[in-house]
Each structure stands twice: as C-alpha cells, then as structure tokens.
Amino acid sequence: MNHPKRPLLPRLLPWAIALAIMLLVMGCGAVGGGGRIHLAFIYSTTSQNPFQEMAFGAKAAAADSGNVDLTENAPPSINGPQEVSQLQAAIRTSRDGIAMETLTPDLFTRPLQQAADAKVPVVAVDTAAPADTGVGLFVGNSNTDLGRSLATEIIKQIPVGATGEVVLGDDIPGLDLLQQRLDGMKALLREQRSTLTVLGPYDSGSEPVDNFTKWNNIVKAHPDAIAFLGAGASDAVSLALIQKNSGHRYLVGSCDPDAQALVAVKDGYVAALASPEHWLKGYIAVRLLAEHARTGKALPQGWWNPGGLIINSANIDRITARQQSEASRKQWFDQVVAQQLADPGKYLQPLSAAN
C-alpha cells in the first residue's frame, strides 16, 4: 500500500527548533564569540589606600580586556563576614571568574570550596588563599622582601655601631602578610645593625583614627627611640601627624603609597615607603581571568610575584605624579604589565614559596 508523503517542512521543524536552541545556548556561553565576560573583584574595604589601588588595577584590566563586565565589591570597613557574603553573591553572578583579596582568609575556606564546586575560577590577590580550597594562583608581592627593603633604606641614616631603640608597629596582629614584612625588617636590622634594640611589634591598629591613637601612645612610651617602622598603610600618615603636632622629629618608615604618606615623604616627615605595588596585583589577576574566560587558556598556577618599590626623596616627585589619577597610574604601569604578561615564567614560583 502506498502511504501519502508527509510534507518536508513539518518533519524538519522539531529538528530546526532544537538546533536553534542549542546554538543559542552555545552562543550565550561562548565568550570568545562575542558574549560578555562576567568577572568580579572582591576585596577587604573601600576605606584604605591599598585596596583602592588594587581596585583601580582591576578596573583598568577589565577595560583593556574588552567585553568584560567587572563587579567590584568590598565592605566600607574591614568586615570578614560581610565580605564572605559578597563573595558568595559573586559566585552566582560572576561565573567567568573572581579575583579575591581578604584580610580574614580563615573565613573563606568553605566559600572558596563552594566556588570550586561551582567551577568558578578564583585568583587570590595580596593574601594567599587557605589550603585545600582549589585556588591555584596567588598574585602577591614578597612581603618579607618588602620589609627587608624598607629596613635597608632606613639604616642608611643609622650609623654602624649605633645604639638605641627601633620600634615596630603591626596594623593587624596575626595577619601573615604584615608579619612577613615585620620579620623581614627584624632580620635585616639584626644582620646589618645588631647593636640596635628592636622593640615590638606593637598593635598599631588598621583604621586611620585607631592607628593614630595607638601610634600616639607608642611614641609617648618610647620618646627616645631613633626610628619607628610600620607595616601597614596608615602608619606613615599617623607618624607624620604626630611629628607635626609634637614638634619632635623621628626617623620613620612604613608601607604603601597613600596620598598623605607621599606628602609626608615630600615634607621630610617620612624617610621611605615600601610600596607593594597593589595596582599591579589587581590588574594582573583580572587580566589573566579575562584571558582564561575568552580563550579557555589555562590559568597559570603558583605564586605570581609582581615585585615592590621603595619610595624616597629621590623618586617622590615621579611617584606622586603617577598617583594623581587612574589614567596616570595606568600610563606608568603599561610597560611593566606588558613585560610581565609576556614572560609569566619569570614571575611565577610554587605556591609553597610565597613569603
């Protein structure tokens, strides 16, 4: 018996619909084909210079990468639980990758495991991620080297054989990265100026007002100290203000290129700043995540050390000009970024080597 032939179009229609749906789904997920890349930078606080610098770098990397939607979130002051909530939100909304900086890493073990389970790539910035969280890339400077370089600069003004107190301050006691800076300072002082008495580190507080109050008490307790060295971003600003208020001058060194700290170097209240070059860390982390999302190229694994910088009277004008705007920062760092991204192996070490 001959059966009448069914029209061709109705028979093909279900297949055409299925194919269209498949192509639509593939198109939505294929960022290399013109889809938007959704990334996030989650960090400790909007209130302090180091974290603002990292955010500027992350923003510049997103702009350079093209087609990137970057979400930046941080608590208004250091608040680990609030930052955890922001990371968990980013896992849902920024599925192409998250760059994360925190001062409370112990709170992030489970949230980072959640990111790994959801297959959201994460790069740790500034502070290494806890072990067993699936985070295989850490972008951060050597804080031990940073502390040594600051102490090396300071002892240029302390003669060999000199005696007296050098007082150290720790903005966040218990935070490994600041302890590494302080260990670097102490080791260099012990090696090069063994006749000095190194005291502390004393708790100097992290937020600016608390930092000033605590440093004021520390200085009053050690009025004859020949040098005061801080490990964090607020120390130079506080110690400069204490000198202005009291009329006494001290030998001061600290970390981070806070705008007021740069003025203190220019005015002679601070001998040197050791900059961890936070902008570079934010930039490199986001740039690598964007490239991974666009091309599928594997993220580098290990510790990426972008280096640090000493700021003193010799380069203060150039660094002050660099720090004037986001555009001036980017112009300064463009060549450095190009060099590092062109030769990653030069900057990568095993995670276990991070110090």
CA distances from 8 to 4, 5, 13 (A): 12, 9, 9
Give the pLDDT confidence score for residue 53 in this predicted structure: 96
Distance CA 215, CA 230 (A): 10
- Beta-ladder partners of 233: none
Question: Look-up: residue for tokens 């003669």?
Answer: 159
The reply to whether omega before 76 is within 30° of 0 (cis) is: no
∠ CA 70-73-75, rounded to 5°? 170
Q: Are 37-141+278-307+325-353 and 143-275 in the same CATH fold?
A: yes
pTM of the model: 0.87
Give the pLDDT confidence score for residue 35 in this predicted structure: 85
Distance CA 170, CA 35 (A): 46
Within 56-131, strands assigned E span: 68-73, 97-100, 122-125
- The domain segmentation of the chain, as residue ranges, is 37-141+278-307+325-353, 143-275
* pLDDT tens per residue, range 250-260: 999 999 999 99
Question: Look-up: residue for tokens 């009448």?
Answer: 4
**CB-neighbour burial class of residue 109 (10 A; exposed 0-12, middle 13-18, buried 19+):** middle
Give the pLDDT confidence score for residue 140 in this predicted structure: 97
How big is the chain, counted in residues? 355
- Into which CATH architecture does domain 143-275 fall? 3-Layer(aba) Sandwich (3.40)
Give the pLDDT confidence score for residue 34 in this predicted structure: 55
* pLDDT tens per residue, range 6-43: 444 344 444 443 433 333 333 333 344 458 999 999 99
- Quote the DSSP letter at residue 205: -
Within 37-185, strands assigned E span: 37-42, 68-73, 97-100, 122-125, 137-139, 164-170
Three-class secondary structure of residue 272 per DSSP: strand
How far, rounded to the nearest angstrom, does the alpha carbon of residue 24 sit from its chain's CA centroid?
38
How far, rounded to the nearest angstrom, does the alpha carbon of residue 355 sit from its chain's CA centroid?
14
Output the six-digit token pair for 312: 């003193």
pLDDT of the chain, 355 residues: tens digit per residue: 444 444 443 444 444 434 333 333 333 333 444 589 999 999 999 988 999 999 999 999 999 999 999 999 999 999 999 999 999 999 999 999 999 999 999 999 999 999 999 999 999 999 999 999 999 999 999 999 999 999 999 999 999 999 999 999 999 999 999 999 999 999 999 999 999 999 999 999 988 999 999 999 999 999 999 999 999 999 999 999 999 999 999 999 999 999 999 999 999 999 999 999 999 999 999 999 999 999 999 999 999 999 999 999 999 999 999 999 999 999 999 999 999 999 999 999 999 999 9
Distance CA 177, CA 163 (A): 29
How far, rounded to the nearest angstrom, does the alpha carbon of residue 319 sit from its chain's CA centroid?
18
Give the pLDDT confidence score for residue 207 in this predicted structure: 87
Which residues, at least 6 apart from 202, have a Cβ–Cβ distance to it below 8 Å?
167, 168, 169, 170, 214, 218
By the 8 A CB rule, do 74 and 83 touch?
yes
- Residue 209: how many CB atoms within 10 A of its CB? 10
37-141+278-307+325-353, CATH topology level: Rossmann fold (3.40.50)
